[in-house]
Chains A and B, each alone.
Chain A
Amino acid sequence: MREPVVAIAGCGAVSAVGCGLESLLNALRSHLLGLGPSEKFSSPRFQSNLVGAAPRDQDDEDPAWLLAREALQQAVGAAKTIKIPPQKIGLILSTTKANIEALERVSAGRPCSKAALRHLQSNLLAEDLAKEFGIRGPVQAVSVACVSGLVALSQGVKLIRRGAADAVFVVGVDCLSEFVVAGFTALKAIDPAGCRPFDAARSGLSPGEAGAAIMLVRDDLTSPTGITLRGYGGSNDANHLTGPSRDGSGLARAIRLALDSAKLSPEEIDFVHAHGTGTSYNDTMESLALKTIFGEACPPVSGAKGMLGHTLGAAGVIETIICTLAMKEKFLPGTLGLTNPAEGAPKSLVRRPRAADRLKNVLKLNTGFGGMNGALILSHE
């Protein structure tokens, strides 16, 4: 029996460049920098105060709930589907730290509501989101480091293909917190000048936050948007807990698996949206993986973390939304922060946004701590 094709029926996003898809699209088109200084991280204990903050009250006690709910609300509003029973709609939450703000508050003896504390646990945050939106199908909380978003999207496809759901909302969220910025400071992984993906002078990431949501649906249940999730591949470097493999072989294997599952050859990929953290080792590894797969004929490559910062568990979801916007609007987003490409970086890096003739098949990449790699292929019929 033919497996159902899984399409994207609606999206929502809140990030450093604003609330809603229109804000995100405008930022991508106009190459707008979302990073900015934050008073919250201005203490010398933090490596930098340059972050990608979403438009929200930075003193809110439950920001993960706020960002996730807003993104999900947008996706629900944007989806044009025929009526699907609530028990056939699932929700998958992708997050690394959920509402870590609650731990900071409780530890400091500051007030923290029961709901905010509950959302410290990502599975309970997922349950509450599902309840808020009347979703009664399968609910999962995925947490696979910075690959969480792509794994969650792949899980959504699987739930639909095996008949456990007809539609699945994949919601990615992670928030700026002292906890996370302290952690990356301890690792000396933050670039004080702001994230510069694939740049010769890059020296780290910029912390960011976002809520992002994608509604996946069996394609016969939606009016055609034309964008489908066509292939996925996952792998592990089995090399180092916080550093990627030096040769990019793990990520290259994930890309090959994604190409195989999509039944595509490398020549059929029109655009690559990279992980591009701006850390020295990651970008080098990613460049090597792309060279392994595409040789000297690498399709255009860009990355969003110079614009939005690294949004961790939300990254795979919001960056997939960026791919869908690019495919629908036929343009290549730029790579903010990139001035002078590093030696070995793909020659096809896109510095500034430009029009594209053809964006039929797009490859989205993410990698994460623990050696995890993910590659997702989107197709536009």
Chain B
Amino acid sequence: MNEVSIFAASVVNPADLAATHLVRRLGQRFGRLDLQSQLALLAVESLELDFSGWARDRIGICLATGTGSLSTDVSFWQGWNGVGGPSPTLFAYTLPSAAIGEIAIHYKLTGPNLCFVGDDQIVLPEAFDLIRRGEADGCVCIFSEVVSVELAKIIPATPAASAWAIFLKRGDGLHKLREFDRDMKALCTLIFQIKSAV
């Protein structure tokens, strides 16, 4: 029971934004979010978690983003020089951690937050540590990679848009987390594929 396990995993990409049953559950506000927040929130919704029995202040959120909020930064900056000026709504999404705010608001999760810019290797060890140290009983883990076509013209990166999500807590779940389990994307994809096949 003291082991920390993965209890759910998901992967989403922009094609999944057409999954109307999930998107409808996310409410009208969903359409106003930037792509990174939409994908991150949809990935968490795809975990099909039921938080009703949980103390919401005991659930953490740990996010890493491959390129921070740079795709949204480019859109915001284009708006500054465009007709009508910059969008105050979009400015709120020029923070890499904006998706955490959206997830916290939607699920009323008031626990601790961590947000890193970089690869997916950091998420599971840091989320595991939050639980191990007793700062949270469970942790929603997300890795998102959004590189718009416009951003790919500026930095050496290929256009991409995907989000991976995992829910960690103590107990026997789908996969017991081990010290060397750092490759969140691979682990997440594998579990999601097995689950989908079953």
Asked whether A379 is an interface residue with its Cβ less than 8 Å from the other chain, the reply is: no
Contacting chain B: which of A55-63, A68-76, A95-103, A263-271?
A95-103
- Tell me, rounded to whole Å, the shortest Cβ–Cβ distance linking A57 to chain B: 22
B118 interface contact, C-beta 8 A: yes
Residue of A45, A234, A257 with highest tally of chain B CB at under 10 A: A234
Do residues B68 and A104 form an inter-chain contact, with CB atoms below 8 A? no
B81 touches A107 (CB 8 A): yes
Which among A103, A117, A241, A370 is the interface contact of B73 at CB below 8 angstroms?
A103
Residues of B within 8 A of A103 (CB): 70, 73-74, 77, 154
| A369 near B101: Cβ-Cβ < 8 Å | yes
Q: Indicate whether A296 reaches chain B with its CB closer than 8 angstroms.
A: no
Residues of B within 8 A of A (CB-CB), count: 49
Interface residues of A in 102-130 (CB under 8 A from B): 103-104, 106-107, 117, 120-123
Q: Is A121 a contact partner of B115 (Cβ separation < 8 A)?
A: no
Contact of B154 among A117, A141, A241, A253 (CB under 8 A): A117
A216 within 8 A of B: no
> Are B104 and A120 in contact, with the CB atoms below 8 A?
no
Interface of A is mostly: mixed
Chain B 63-90 against A: per-residue CB contact (8 Å), 1 yes, 0 no?
Answer: 0000110100110111011000111100
Contact with A along B102-138 (1 / 0, CB 8 A): 1011011111111111110010001001000101000
A158 within 8 A of B: yes
Complex CA distance for A235 and B55, rounded to whole angstroms:
13
| A131 interface residue (CB < 8 Å to B) | no
CB distance from A97 to the nearest CB of B (A): 8
DSSP class of B's interface residues: helix, strand, loop or mixed?
A: mixed
Contact between chains at B105 and A121 (CB < 8 Å): no
Bound: A186/B85 CA distance, A = 8
Question: Quick check: is B144 within 8 A (CB to CB) of the other chain?
Answer: no
* B57 proximity list for chain A (CB < 8 A): 235, 253
| Cβ-defined contact, B86 with A371, below 8 A | no
Contact with B along A206-238 (1 / 0, CB 8 A): 000000000000000000000000000111111
* Cα–Cα, bound, A372→B113 (Å): 7
Which residues of B from 115 to 171 have beta carbons under 8 Å from A?
115-119, 122, 126, 129, 133, 135, 154-155
Q: Which of B8-16, B91-99, B180-188, B190-198 contacts A (4 or more CB under 8 A)?
A: B91-99
Rounded to whole angstroms, the CA-CA distance of A342 and B162 in the bound complex is 46
| A interface residues, Cβ below 8 angstroms from B | 45, 96-98, 100, 103-104, 106-107, 117, 120-123, 140-145, 151, 155, 158, 162, 178-179, 182-188, 233-242, 250, 253, 257, 368-372
**Chain B positions near chain A (C-beta within 8 angstroms):** 56-57, 61, 67-68, 70, 73-74, 76-78, 80-81, 85-88, 91-92, 94-98, 100-102, 104-105, 107-119, 122, 126, 129, 133, 135, 154-155
